[in-house]
Every structure is written in structure tokens, then in C-alpha cells.
Chains A and B, each alone.
Chain A
Amino acid sequence: MSESSASRLNVFKTYKLYVGGKFPRSESGRVYEVSDTKGKWLANAPLSSRKDARDAVVAARKAFGGWSGATAYNRGQILYRIAEMLEGRRDQFVREVGEAEGLSKSKAGAVVDAAIDRWVWYAGWTDKIGQVVGGANPVAGPFFNLSTPEPTGVVTVVAPQDSSFLGLVSVIAPVIATGNTAVVIASEKAPLPALSLGEVLATSDLPGGVVNILSGKAAEMGPHLAAHQDVNAIDLAGAGAALAKELEIAAADNLKRVLRPQPVDDWSADPGTHRMTAFLETKTVWHPTGSLGASGSSY
């Protein structure tokens, strides 16, 4: 929190989780101290529990039908709306990102701008990914045969630890652009930009439960989410090598789709499409084309 320069005492924000479109505290009643890179206290963040994680999965599952069933156009409009809302709160995020990552105002500004543009990039993908990775298959027979991508379901996202905001947006947006819903574990040491993002999502026409944001320890929540039978996939972006291996093993129990952590030097680089395709299923539909005979075919 920046000090108020006038004599007036400023009002601190109570940072809360974002689950099912609401802003609960952790059911455990626990918080932990969040400091800036120089060790100065910034706020207390909720220390989410296993129960919070399970509640988030319930919320994400509940939202999946509506979100995946929305038109791609509608999802694109909402992702673009997030960019609009974020642009309006740019100053707040520049401050929070600067404090969280120890960046100058101009560097933090560049990070926030890149995060806003990242939403715009994925807003444009919602109604194009199917045209790029799907298509008609020329099978050798009298059949119409079409493959289309579909979202895999509820995705747990272990957000990057260092890039508390651009990295965070870069892992959430591709998951939800295609119609998945997400349970996100924010950067443990820098969770505040993520918790504030929840406030932006809540005012962007994004249905509650599509994105659920938890702060706390990936090592505590991760194993429960990786083993959760109603989670379909897990993005291990922010998990260290040992935790990533543990979670991948747990994820095998119901064959979750796993995106392993990859070294990212620069989150502002062209993100490509792999973060979307990692959480897509391909559905192929066959249908006979029949013949033109007078009585037609029998099907």
C-alpha cells in the first residue's frame, strides 16, 4: 500500500478470494503476510485451504456448461470486455505489479499493457481456434467427417510465481478462451495482482465460476486439485520441478491433461496457440452422405 501524502489516513483493501463470482475469505480463517520485494508489508492475503480448493472446483464445474455452451463470439466479447475494464484500472495494476515484482513505474506499465493486449489477443482466438485446428477430413468413403475442438472441462492452473500478472493472465486467458473453466492458484509470494484481477473479472460480464482465484500455497492445495476427480486438466506453469512431478503423478489417477512447466524468459513474447490446444479435446463426427437414388438411402 502506498502511503497517503496528505494528512488523511488511507483505507486499506481487504484482499479476498474470487470463487463462484463472489469474494469469500478463506473458510479456514487463515491469512499470510504479503510483502513487496524489499520486505515491506503490503497486505494479508487469504491462505486458502483444501476446502477452498474443493469449493472452487464445484463453482468451476457449475459454470462449465454455460460457458462452454456460449457462442465463441460471446466469449470473445467478454474477453475483450475484460481488456476494456483492465485498461480503466491500469493505474491500480501498475502500482500493484510494481510493488509485487519490484518494477519501476514504466516497467510495470509495460507489463500491464502487455497483459491488457494479451486479453485482446485471446478475445480474437475464441472464434478462430476451431478454424485453425479443426476441419473436414477427406475419408475414403461416402461420409461427411468433421473434427472440431471442444474444451476439456475444469482446468487447475498453478500460476507462474515470478510474473504475478502478465504470467497470470497468459495462463488464464487461453484456458477460458476456448470454453474451459479455471481454478487458479495465484503466485504464492505475489498474489495481490491476481486477487485484484478477480475484481476486474467480476465486472466484465464473465459468468461467476468461470475463473476462480485462490491465494496460498501451491504445495498445500496443488496435491488435492491434482488428485481431484472432477478436475479435467492441470497447468503446472508455476510449480517447481519436484512439485510438478508430484502433481503430474497425482493427475494420472483420472488421466488429467497435463501441461508441464516450461521455462519462460519473457512472458510478453508471442504466446502461440499451445496453451489453448493443451486443454482442448478433438471431437470427430461421422455421417453417411448416402446416395441420390429415388428412394434415398436407408439412413
Chain B
Amino acid sequence: MENKTSLFEYAPAPESRSVVDIAPSYGLFIDGEFTDAADGKVFKTVSPSSEEVLAEVARAGAADVDRAVQAARRAFEKWSALPGSERAKYLFRIARIIQERSRELAVLETLDNGKPIKETRDADLPLVAAHFFYYAGWADKLDHAGYGANPRPLGVAGQVIPWNFPLLMLAWKIAPALATGNTVVLKPAETTPLSALFFADICRQAGLPKGVVNILPGYGDAGAELVSHPDVNKVAFTGSTAVGKAIARQVAGTDKKVTLELGGKGANIVFDDAPVDQAVEGIVNGIFFNQGQVCCAGSRLLVQESIHDELLDSLKRRLSTLRLGDPLDKNTDIGAINSAEQLARITALAETGEAEGAERWSPACELPSAGYWFAPTLFTNVTQAHTVARDEIFGPVLSVLTFRTPDEAVAKANNSQYGLSAGIWTEKGSRILAVAGKLRAGVVWANTFNKFDPTSPFGGYKESGFGREGGRHGLEGYLDV
């Protein structure tokens, strides 16, 4: 360390792409086979960090949805009749194969999604494997889950997942569905279909009976077909609140059981006694993890007025050290935005923030010339009326508000249509519990943020959706109880 500036300079350290072999084209996975779409339609999936086309993928339409649901229906009878201990062993196999292939899947996910390899390698993939492991264990223990003796599966689950954690959201959907004896038709997002198709191959390796898992890459039209298919018994959706409301309308008057994991505008509340450095790390993790494309992101920072300036100085210093760039580089903190469409949405909302009078700040940050990128951004002087304090931006944009008393912090935190997550930073245990008790949010992190575990239920209050995924509670959405 001869001079100070070298402290934060890093040589490139890219993870090798050679661990993953992406085919030029992929089909739909229906009844244990890869197949073209009935109408022959395809779409391209690109790497958001370079706009390179990764593969061409069959695009599911109504006829394909019907075929997949029929396959799942046929598979349901035998699958649901298997002893739980046998279903468990299939899921354990899947968990083990995911562990074995986790580096390959991490690189694939980073290529297709744009998030840093550090995150796919250290967060997404370990959580994916753990989720299958956890629900594998439930398959033969459902009598102990608190829903009475011999709870029964629902039937065919139609599942629609987002692009921000493609494989992890697949795991959250498929693992509990299979453990409880349901069969599955899953539609991954159109910008991130690849890891779900690799998962289809894992099902093959695990010897999973055909038709138990069907994967239909496609767009929103295929998702709408799936949700409204008359032979689907369970609808599970993770995505925007607007689509969630449309689904709620679509299933009205049916017997379909529904769980919805929707948007959020999480409040991260920092009290004046919080350790500043630790809080800054939590704030950064809360809003810049996965480029802020996280439904439970801590996108509203509520900081006690007396420490506002000190905290903001520290936060800005920390943001200046974040490394944005090649997602495959092992040192990268901030990767690419998932799509041009999402980049446009973030850009427009940030412009609205400025136009409404909030003060915008970003660290000096050079953006790559190709791909979809957005620099980490702070808004200060934000009021509760500002769009950037109300709308979910789903990007690396943090809105900073202040409060004076705990009552005011709680009132501001709860002043949102959403209620998914919140954070509390204070040294005082009783204050954590008092504030947590008043927050209308499904997950409250104290002196930490964005922690996930398969044993821990996750889901929202209010317009963040209903139902819980993960933990013992996550079984309920897939059981006839």
C-alpha cells in the first residue's frame, strides 16, 4: 500500500463462464420433455450487462398452458398418493443436485439476470438449495405441522415468478408445492427464463416423475392464461401489486387458493443510539442488494433528525466505495439493471423525484457503455408526499426522510400502501420490540436487513400481498386446510 488511492483499486477478477454451457435454444418443459410452443413462437433472452443474446427460448401460449396443466393433472394422482417419505427423498435429491451444480447455476443466473456473482454465489444459490432441503423434510411430517391429521394437497399449482431472484423464487414456489403433494406449472419471467429451464434438467437428473414439474417460459399473457385456467387449484404469484390485484380479480368466484407476494416500500428506521457504521452497512445492504430490485428493499430511510447529517456523511462515503460493473467480477457490488424496460422505469421515477424537489445525489460512478446500468442514488429532503417516498422504484434509489420521536417514525413507516418489510436500528432492545409491535409489516429486521432463511416465513401486510412463504407457515398455502 504505497499510496492511499490504491486502497480501493481492484484488478479484474472475473468468474469463469466456462462452468456453464448455454444451448442456443430451449423449449418448454412439459410432461418431462422439452418441446416447442404450439404456435412455434420464440423469444430471446439477453444478458443485461452486455445485451448479448444468451439463447432463444420457446414462448408459451394458451395451448401450451393447457397442455402443461393437463400433464400436471395427470401426474397429480400418483404424486399425491406417494408416501411423504418418498416425496421427501425426491426433494432431497433435488437439493443435493442444486448444491453440486451451484457454481454453474450461479454463473448462469448472473448472466441472465445481471446481478453480481457475489450475490448469486453466496446468497441466491445457497438459499435455493436450503429451501429444497427444508421442505423436503416437511413432506413426511405434515401431520406435525399444526393443521390437523393428514392434511391434503390442493392439486395443480399455477405459479408465476419474477425476474429479480429467478431461481430462488422458483424454489420458494416449487419446494413447498411438491412437499405437500401438489404438482406444478411454473412460468418464469420473460427476461430470466434460463435457470428455470436448467432446473427442469435437475428434475430429470433427480428422476422426478414426468408431469410433476412443468416449466413454461413466456410473457404476461401466458401467466394470465395459467392463473385463469379452470383446472388450476392453486395460484401463487410474486411480482407487482398491479398484477397481483388483477389476479385477485381473475380468481374471484373460483375455488382457487391464492398467495400473493407483491411490492413494498420498506422503511429502514435509524434511531440516534444506533451504531452508525453498522447501520450504514445495513442501509446499503437494504437498498443496493440486487440493485434494489427487491420487493422487501429498505427503500425509505427514516433517520432520527439529530443524527441525519452524520449518518448521511457516512452513507455517502460508503457509497463512494461501491464497485459497479461486470456482474461476473467477484469484486462487483452493483451489477446491471435487469432490463431496458426496468431501467426506463427507474430513470423516470428518479426524474420525478428531482422534479418534485427532492435533492438527488450519486457517487462518482462510471457506467459501462453497453447494457442497462443505474448508479446508486440517494434522495434527501424527501417528504411523505413525494413520489419517491410512495411508489416502489425497484431500483438502487434510496429516499431519505427524518423523524424526531419513535411515534413519528412508526407513523411515517406505516404511511404506505405497502407492508412487506421494515428495519429498526437501535441499541435498545425494548425499543426494537415496541416499534416492531406497531409496524404494519410482515418482516421486521432489527439491527440487520435482508436476511432470509427457509425456516422463516416471509410475506406482506396490506397491498404487499397475502399468504406467507417459507417456514412452517409456508405449507398452508399448498394444503387443503
Contact = CB atoms under 8 A, between A and B. Distances in A.
Interface of A: 72-73, 76-77, 80, 117, 120-121, 123-128, 131-132, 144, 273, 287-294, 296-297, 299
Contacts of A126: 137
A127 B406 contact: no
B261 to A, nearest CB: 21
A290 B138 contact: no
The B interface, classified by DSSP as helix, strand, loop or mixed, is helix
A127 B134 contact: yes
Interface residues of B, number: 34
B318 interface: no
B138 A288 contact: no
B391 interface: no
Given A120-B92, A121-B85, A124-B138, A132 B434 contact: no
Contacts of A297: 428, 430-431, 434
Contacts of A77: 133
B435 interface: yes
A120 B433 CA distance: 38
Contacts of A273: 144
A292 B407 contact: yes
Contacts of A294: 404-407
B137 A296 contact: no
Contacts of B438: 292
A54 B465 CA distance: 57
B136 interface: yes
Contact of B435 (A120, A288, A292): A292
Nearest to A114: B85
Nearest to B406: A292
A290 B430 contact: yes
Given A124-B88, A299-B430, A131 B455 contact: yes
Interface string B424-466: 0000111101110110000000000000001100000000000
Interface in B126-172: 130, 133-134, 136-141, 144-146
Contacts of B472: 128, 131-132
A127 B431 CA distance: 29
Nearest to B95: A80
B410 interface: yes
B410 A292 contact: yes
Given A124-B88, A124-B138, A128-B472, A288 B430 contact: yes
Nearest to A122: B137
For the complex of A and B, 8 pairs with smallest distance between CB atoms: A124-B137, A290-B430, A289-B433, A290-B434, A294-B405, A292-B406, A288-B430, A131-B472
A287 to B, nearest CB: 6
A124 B140 contact: yes
A201 B452 CA distance: 31
Contacts of B363: none
